[in-house]
Structure 1
Amino acid sequence: MEGLVYAMAIAGSVGAGTLATGAVSRCLGWLGERSFSIYLLHMPVIQILVQKNGVLRMTGDSALDALITTSALGLPIIIGLAALTYGVIESPFLALRVKYLSEASTVTVRAIGAAASPKIIS
């Protein structure tokens, strides 16, 4: 059910095309950058909410109560933790990756250049 809501939101945004500019586009981009952290954190947060009896029982229908709980409690917690882990863990490692790739390409070019012009030792 939750996945269907997200799929409809994404399809609506893509279908709107030019309407999804500005704030909506920036918001979706921001969430997209943090999507891996959201993916990693969503299940532990939901499990903790269930184990600590953090389920809101508002309607009596367990499926609807789960959707309300996920939307009202889970989603803000997950997005907040994802923003924190993205800034503290993921982003610094992504910055290292760029340096690593640029250094690796320099080393590769040097190695190829050295192989192309061997030195003759007499």
Structure 2
Amino acid sequence: MFYRSPIFTFGFVACHVLPYLLDRKDKRYIGIMLLVSVPVQLYAVCSKTVPFLDPYHWEGVMFFCLVVELVLMPTAFVVNQSLQWLGQISFSIYLIHSPLIAIFFPLFKYLQQSNINPSSAYLTAFGLTLLCVIPLAVLTHKIVEKPANRLGRRFAK
């Protein structure tokens, strides 16, 4: 349980550091430095030459750098309407994907054991999952999540 706590801590620090960084005139340069540091960190983790912390915990550092960089310098490739829409339904995606994968597991196992290329099997399974998860998540979001949020706001008042 405590093994993963440093990764949580980096997310917590990012939330508390961002308000201070947003007001800085040099926020773009800070964002560039954070972005440039990620491949260096990844190389250090992959080559097992990280100077301190468990290599696993460096994923938290890299995630911190990427999240803070995206807030300081939003990139159209990552920050766009399509991904914002996916963000709005992300909780429903989270709720739907596991049961759907469990339902499709026999098919995925068959694909894995067939004679097709492993990459093709993975992409087929991924595509099928997306094809089913997204519409179900949209329905769940509209039928369950939004009404539940409205109800929760009424109780909170």
The CA distance in 2 between the partners of 1:85 and 1:58, in whole Å, is 36
Change (3 A) 1:58 1:66: same
Aligned to 1:98: 153
The percent of aligned pairs where both chains have the same amino acid is 33
Structure 1: stretches of 5+ with no match in the other structure: 1-10, 103-122
Number of residue pairs matched by the alignment: 91
3-state SS, counterpart of residue 84 of structure 1: helix
What code does the residue aligned with 1:47 have?
A: A
The CA distance in 2 between the partners of 1:40 and 1:89, in whole Å, is 11
Contact 1:38 1:78 in 2 (8 A): yes
3-state SS, counterpart of residue 27 of structure 1: helix
Change (3 A) 1:20 1:47: same
Q: 1:67 aligns with which of 101, 110, 122?
A: 122
The CA distance in 2 between the partners of 1:33 and 1:79, in whole Å, is 12
Change (3 A) 1:58 1:26: farther
Deviation, structure 1 residue 100? 1.4
Q: Which has the larger radius of gyration?
A: 1
Change (3 A) 1:94 1:50: same
Contact 1:37 1:85 in 2 (8 A): yes
Matched, 1:40 2:95: yes
Task: Summarize deviations over 1:12-68 as a string: whole Å, max 9, x none.
Answer: x938x44428xx52211211121111111112212222225674857332xx24421
Change (3 A) 1:100 1:29: same
The CA distance in 1 between the partners of 2:138 and 2:91, in whole Å, is 11
Contact 1:46 1:70 in 2 (8 A): no
Tell me the TM-score normalized by structure 1. Answer: 0.56
Task: Give the aligned CA root-mean-square deviation in angstroms.
Answer: 3.5
3-state SS, counterpart of residue 99 of structure 1: helix
What code does the residue aligned with 1:76 have?
A: L
The CA distance in 1 between the partners of 2:99 and 2:132, in whole Å, is 11
Task: Summarize deviations over 1:68-110 as a string: whole Å, max 9, x none.
Answer: 12332111211111111110011101011111112xxxxxxxx
Contact 1:58 1:65 in 2 (8 A): no
Tell me the TM-score normalized by structure 2. Answer: 0.45
Aligned to 1:106: none
